[in-house]
Structure 1
Amino acid sequence: MTHKSKKPDAEMLKAVDMNKVAQGDLEHTTLLDMALRRISLNDAAKKLNISYDAIKGRMYRIRHRRDKSKPYIKKPGPKTRYKVHGHEKAIKEYRELSLSSDEISHVLKETINADIDEVTISRFLGEEGFPRMHNRSKFEKEAAQRTIRSIITNYKTDNMKDIEHIITSKFGSAYTGLGIFMALIEELDILKIIRDAYPSDAKRVEGYVLTLLGLKIIQKKRRSDIKHLSEEKMIALFSGRDKVLSCTSLETFDYDMRKKVLEDMKKTYILILMKYMDMSVFNIDFHVIPSFSKSEALETNHAPSRGKNMKSALVFLVQDRESKIFPYSNANVKRSEASDEVIKFLDKVEPLGIKPEWIVGDSKVTNYKNIAKIKKRGIDVVTIRRKGVEMVREVEDAKKNPKAGTWRTVRIKRTKGGYEKVKVHIKTIPVGYYDDGKWRTFKMRQLAIPDNGHEYPMFIITTDFKHSVKDIVEMYPPRWLIELGIKTQTKFFDLNQLASDLSIKIDFDTFLTQISHMLYQMLAKNLFRYENADAETIYKEFIEGGGKVKIYEDKIVVQLNRKRTTGYMINAPILEGWVDDGKNISWLGKKLQIIWK
């Protein structure tokens, strides 16, 4: 079929390469026929075996080419369509995670920098027999976004460089005080906790745990604060990485925590601390961490800090009396099983060779049945008895008639220093409990102290009949040390900030708080005149403040700014060697030296 107009298209003729026409080139032969009006667009499309739209597009490119004085040259296209170039396995795995083609394309670009478009991925998945992605719900799309963040974060985390690969570098930081704790962690071999629990993956886990620990040490109350420290090189150095781990990667690590692994970590922690604790007296107590969520995973407990019953986590805490260190905690306590926690604690530590002489707690930490069990283990319990009207009246009558009962005047040492004389009314009392449907009784020693600065007498009861009245009376008042320690953990380390409503995450976060508190306690014990200082005082007087860090091929020098208290830190026995030539840091692969200027 010929065109109605016989006049040749002059512009089209310029595009024809006559040499190629002479050689029989189909492309230019067809162009010549079109220029001479011999065939229509439809006929040209059929001749070239392309679509009508394709021939129209080609005509457009011919008429709008840059140099119209020269013949048209068709750009050579690919012999075959674009392939996925060795990423077949990854694409299949991502589709099995319910990711769409455009999401898979995004993940490949962000992780391995593979520039594969979604159309190519869709074609590949179709050829592999994968069905088309169904219309996903809002929740499925949100889950897919979480999966994408997790994949990208884990890839970037796993491909971070260790600090030992950085040859030379220097930077300033507001958190150079972390260098002190790097020395403490190495000196106390704290990372043994991780290496024993994760023998094949310790290096990766160390980065996560040290980052979380570092946040607590520098008084960052929420994990999300890591977002504001993404460029803080001292945090990265502390964790042994070249970059700070992201908040998402930290959350992902938490969700992967296993209960057995956490129990193994707690066991190793106790074994490490055994050489630093007296372990003859343990203070025990419960702490309620309030929550404002409505999660069914949390029970309702009475929160003294809020003065009401509310959703919360109940935490069991054990403190060594002499060192003030918390060797054990459990944030997975059910209210109905709370009184049995002390028995569970003893079951865990006795195989490690730990057998205290006394356990001291208030009237709510356990019941008489468990006190009897503890007594059978050869451990004495010192606690207080809930006051009754008849008990108070009996002591008041005994004061009027000194012969009615046994009174003893003892000179006791006050917890805040000095001595004081107090009168103590001594009596042996029977206490009972039900066990297997039978009522059982045993005897306890009751020490009533009427003139104690309060309206009513204090009733101390104990299973200990061997020690003197003076020893028993002096035993209970220092129990406030555990409340002081809990106050420090709540205020400085922000124990009351729930990491999650998941019990395993709460338990792990409480465990990290324990370690942070212990590091501050160990540092305080080595600082002259600051032996009894709390974590907040140590942080403000010694740790807070800027400085510089220099990384050499074989050594890291942390330079802190001088303070009026620097002399105490330089002479701390636990830092001996670190402030001279330095010592090796196992997770950095270099020596660490601490200096002040």
Structure 2
Amino acid sequence: MRKQNLSVYDMQRELAAAGHAISINALTVLLREEGFARLPRRRDEDRPPTITPEAAPVADIRTLSLAPRTFRTRVGGLFLFVPLMHAIDVAAIARQVELPGSAMIPAEQALRSLLAMKLLGKERKSHVMDLVWDAGIALFAGLNVVPKRSYLAAYSSQIDHAKNVRLMEAWFATVHQAGLPRGTSIDLDFHTVPANTQEEPLEKHYVSSRSRSQQGILVFLARDATERVLCYATAGITKAEQASEILRFVDVWTRRTGSPPTELVFDSQLTTYAQLNQLTQHGIRFVTLRRRSKKMLGRIWSQPASAWRRITLPALTRTFRTPKVLDERIRLKDYDHELRQVSIIELGHEEPTILLTNNFTIGCSALVTRYAQRMLIENGISEAIQFFHLDALSSMVGLKVDFDLQLTLMASSLYRLMAAKIGREYTKAQAKTLFRNLLDVSATVRITEQEVVVTLDKRAHNPYLVASGLATHPTPMPWFGDKALSIRFA
């Protein structure tokens, strides 16, 4: 079969047709043992005849048609982001960051295509192939058809770390002006994007979902605790840089807002006492966990009952609402000042929870509640993984991970704007809930000489969209002949 130029996949099909079942891996091993090398990459016309998907046209803005027509689309909800993004000049951001583009696919259209994939919750860039014949996503991007997976995968490799940082800064400056507020308290955490390859020289980092260390790319994430939105991310952090990444975040935040963050909340693994000392010198409050040792636990348990006092936590639904706390002042190596240490027991854990902070004015009840809210960054990371598919990357190349992170941040901020616009019980809803209940809807698109009319199919939750005001006024689309978009409901 190999002498007939058949690949292992071709062989598997031939053998299956003859009634013999064998795996691809087994065929690969057999061929290697028989001395056969891998086949060189072949053109489609060199492969054996078989059923193949119908090829879509090549993406080229020069063939974009503005002619009147009507068509159906599966991504009707995507057009609700058009009025939401009316104050966000995507073309200006692409120019400012100097994103790559071509005569066929300009930078704005490339960015719109990639952002559309994130807004739709597509797991991989290859899943764009499900939508290559959908004229709706092409219209949103401003192209004749959406670019194929090979283009989207190669595009992210052209954007270096400096451009990713500029993209993040330009986007959040613009989205803030568009109505996304900035909070003053930030949750911080690391996340490892696990690698499923041994071919790239990656360090090992702890992967919480697998409870082990393995090769991967370490990502630093910041979440605005007030606005519940991921507001900063960077990828490819080495173990040597890990402890000081918090100070780099402070520098970026100060440039972005004009002042350092008021409060940072993070766990004990994020940084060192020396870095905590620098945070205090910058006037930044922090709350973190302290790592427990046997000696420390022995000293805490030896404290008399009179040293502890009982507090009441405000959350009525908590099982353990009345823990006991031990509030102390301590000094630590590499930290120049006193620190406040609050040990908490009867909180549902066998061992005490030990908090460290340089905030001496906040009450113990508020302090415990605030650190508990830090766990919500886990929800933000979970959303990035489950809906924006942060871990489902086709390549572990650091540049691609970094750019994918920025797209995740952009889509996350748009969903937060969408949640605020819809309001009611959706104010705090996650992206997957908003998409499932409101935005995963088909539509009929009618293009006329002056406007584009998108009529969303009937759905039970459409009244929320009507009440949001997103469909009240036509929105101009400069990337589509400056025609006005009108959204209607069936």
> Who is 1:585 aligned against?
477
Flag the 1:173–1:159 CA change in 2: closer, same or farther, 3 A: closer
Aligned-partner Cα distance in 1 for 2:163–2:343: 46
| 1:342 positional shift | 0.8
Cα distance, 1:326–1:143 mapped onto 2, change above 3 Å: farther
Q: Identify which range, 506-515 or 564-573, moves more after superposition.
A: 564-573
Structure 2: stretches of 5+ with no match in the other structure: 1-36, 45-54
Matched residue of 1:309: which SS? strand
Q: How does 1:120-139 map to 2 (within 5 A)?
A: none
Q: CA deviation at 1:301?
A: 1.4
- Between Structure 1 and Structure 2, which shows a larger proportion of helix residues? 1
Aligned amino acid, residue 370 of structure 1: Q
Q: 2:133 aligns to what SS in structure 1?
A: coil
For 1:228, the equivalent position in structure 2 comes to 130
The equivalent residue for 1:261 is: 163
Q: CA RMSD in A?
A: 2.7
Distance 1:432 1:262, change over 3 A: same
Tell me, yes or no, if the aligned pair for 1:320 and 1:327 is still in contact at 8 Å: yes
Q: Say which SS state the counterpart of residue 378 (structure 1) adopts.
A: coil
Is 1:358 the counterpart of 2:263? The answer is: yes
2:467 equivalent among 567, 571, 577:
571
In our comparison, the structure showing a higher alpha carbon Rg is 1
Report the CA distance shift for 1:160/1:295 in structure 2 as closer, same or farther (over 3 A): farther
Whole-angstrom distance in 1 between the partners of 2:164 and 2:454? 32
Equivalent residue, structure 2, for 1:69: none
What secondary structure is seen at the aligned counterpart in 2 of 1:331?
A: strand
Residue type at the aligned position of 1:246: K
Quick one: percent identity of the two aligned structures?
Answer: 25
Asked if 1:422 corresponds to 2:326, the answer is: no
Do the aligned partners of 1:284 and 1:316 also contact (CA within 8 Å) in 2?
A: yes
Q: Distance in 1 between matches of 2:74 and 2:316?
A: 37
Query: What's 2:283 paired with?
Result: 378
Kindly indicate whether the alpha-carbon contact (under 8 Å) linking 1:316 and 1:330 is maintained by their aligned counterparts in 2.
Answer: yes
Point out which structure has higher relative CO (alpha carbons under 8 A, 6+ apart): 2
1:364 Cα offset (Å): 0.7
Instruction: Say yes or no: does 1:309 pair with 2:213.
Output: yes
Equivalent residue, structure 2, for 1:556: 452
Question: Which whole-Å CA distance do the structure 2 matches of 1:417 and 1:552 have between them?
Answer: 57
CA contact (8 A) 1:415 1:478 kept: no
The residue correspondences of 1:43-54 to structure 2 (distance < 5 A) are none
**Paired position in structure 1 for 2:341:** 446
- The CA deviation string for residues 394-419 of structure 1, in whole angstroms up to 9 with x for no partner, is 33333xx233x3x3433332396899
Q: Which secondary structure does the structure 2 equivalent of 1:509 belong to?
A: helix
- Give the C-alpha shift of residue 158 in structure 1: 4.6
Could you tell me which residue of structure 1 aligns to residue 312 of structure 2? 411
**Deviation string for 1:24-63 (max 9, x for gaps)?**
xxxxxxxxxxxxxxxxxxxxxxxxxxxxxxxxxxxxxxxx
Question: Shift in Å at residue 483 of structure 1?
Answer: 0.4
Distance 1:143 1:518, change over 3 A: farther
Aligned with residue 170 of structure 1, among 70, 86, 97: 70
Match of 1:197 in 2: 97
Would the alpha carbon gap of residues 156 and 173 (structure 1) be closer, same or farther in structure 2, given more than 3 Å must change?
closer
Q: 1:478 aligns with which of 373, 397, 404?
A: 373
1:530 equivalent in alignment to 2:426: yes
Change (3 A) 1:329 1:499: farther
Residues 241 and 355 (structure 1), Cα distance of their counterparts in 2 relative to 1, 3 Å cut? same
- Indicate how the Cα distance of structure 1 residues 372 and 457 shifts in structure 2: closer, same or farther if over 3 A, else same: same
2:423 is the alignment partner of 1:519: no
Distance of 1:266 and 1:297 partners within structure 2 = 27
Task: Report the more deviating stretch, 473-482 or 180-189.
Answer: 180-189
Change (3 A) 1:572 1:354: farther
CA, structure 1 residues 355+229, in 2 after alignment: closer, same or farther (shift >3 Å)? Answer: same
Give yes or no for the alignment of 1:390 onto 2:325.
Answer: no
Per-residue CA distance 1:165-195 (angstroms, 9 max, x = gap): 5131210011111111222222444554323
**CA deviation profile, 1:61-103 (whole Å, cap 9, x unmatched):** xxxxxxxxxxxxxxxxxxxxxxxxxxxxxxxxxxxxxxxxxxx
User: Is the contact between residue 189 and residue 221 of structure 2 (CA under 8 Å) also seen in structure 1?
Assistant: yes
TM-score by length of 1: 0.68
SS at match of 2:369: helix
Normalising to structure 2: TM-score of the pair? 0.82
Give how far 1:390 is off: 2.8
Q: For 1:271-299, what per-residue CA distance to the aligned partner results, in whole angstroms no more than 9, with x for missing partners? A: 23445233310000001111111133422
SS of the residue 1:476 aligns to: helix
CA contact (8 A) 2:60 2:144 kept: no
- State the distance in 2 between where 1:581 and 1:379 align: 44
Deviation string, structure 1 residues 500-530 (Cα, Å, up to 9, x no partner): 2221111001111111122222212222111
Contact 2:320 2:347 in 1 (8 A): no
1:383 and 1:273, CA in 2 relative to 1: closer, same or farther beyond 3 A?
farther
CA distance in 2, matches of 1:336, 1:266: 24
Q: Which residue among 225, 229, 232 is the counterpart of 1:325? A: 229
Structure-2 change in CA distance of 1:218 and 1:449 (3 Å): same
Q: Which residue of 2 aligns with 1:498?
A: 393
- In the alignment, the residues of structure 1 paired with residue 99 and residue 477 of structure 2 have an alpha-carbon distance, to the nearest angstrom, of 19
Matching residue's letter, 2:68 = T
